[in-house]
Amino acid sequence: MKWAVVVFPGSNCDEDAAYGIRQATGDDVDLVWHQEASLDGYDAVVLPGGFSYGDYLRPGAIARFSPIMAAVQDAAKAGKLVLGICNGFQVLTEVGLLPGALLSNTHRQFRCEVVELTVINTTSPFTSAYTFGQKLRVPISHGDGRFYADSAVLNDLQEQDRVAFTYVDNPNGSLANIAGILNQEGNVLGLMPHPERAVAEWMTSTDGVGVFQSMHQFVTKQAPQPTVPGAAANEASQGGYVRAGQ
């Protein structure tokens, strides 16, 4: 399985995301610059946390116009897995791949701390490694993480089992304590906390591993089994940018 981690100007969790994926799955990961126009050859796409374009206008508002976002939309429409973490979640709502919006925290404070989440959905490609009601300890790092949607959208999310994670102790004022949601097809997840910062014992939690392992299992179970040994991993997957599809 091969992953693409999209890098926008201002992203600061791209290397963290790549590390978390490798730590959890052992898969190949490329950092793909936002000016690329194709994501061919990748099985999953991650929009990482950070402050794309310095959060000017509002978080994700400019990143949505980057050339790579057309390819992200195409990947989602083709059924590939797309994960948006923190700022990536904001970008997904801005581009319309997920409903609602991420607004300023109700207390107007930037929060960087470990929070407790409850797993609400265990049937999605992102959550199958967890059990229903399982409690996770995962860091947050945001000032604009308050999920908001109108009542109709909120009802749809809840009735269609598209709320993936909720906060135990709501840190930002999100409606219905929402921490992560799925699109209607179930192949796009927006998650405000950072699972890539909870993948090793030295991080004080490994509870984020399940997100990446769930995605890995979903893709590899669908993939045809190779008949010949695979080629060695591209050296570029260990650091630096590559042209998409290489």
Q: Which tokens go with 84?
A: 């948006």
Sequence-ordered strand ranges (E) for the chain: 2-7, 28-33, 44-47, 81-85, 101-103, 111-119, 135-142, 146-148, 163-167, 178-182, 188-191, 241-242
CB atoms inside a 10 Å sphere around CB 112: 11
Q: Which sign does the torsion angle of CA 127, 183, 43, 92 carry? A: negative
Among residues 13, 86, 94, 216, which one is catalytic?
A: 86
Q: Which sign does the torsion angle of CA 126, 127, 129, 135 carry? A: positive
- Say whether 77 sits in a helix, a strand or coil: helix
Respond yes or no: is residue 194 known to be catalytic: yes
Which residues participate in catalysis according to the annotation?
86, 194, 196
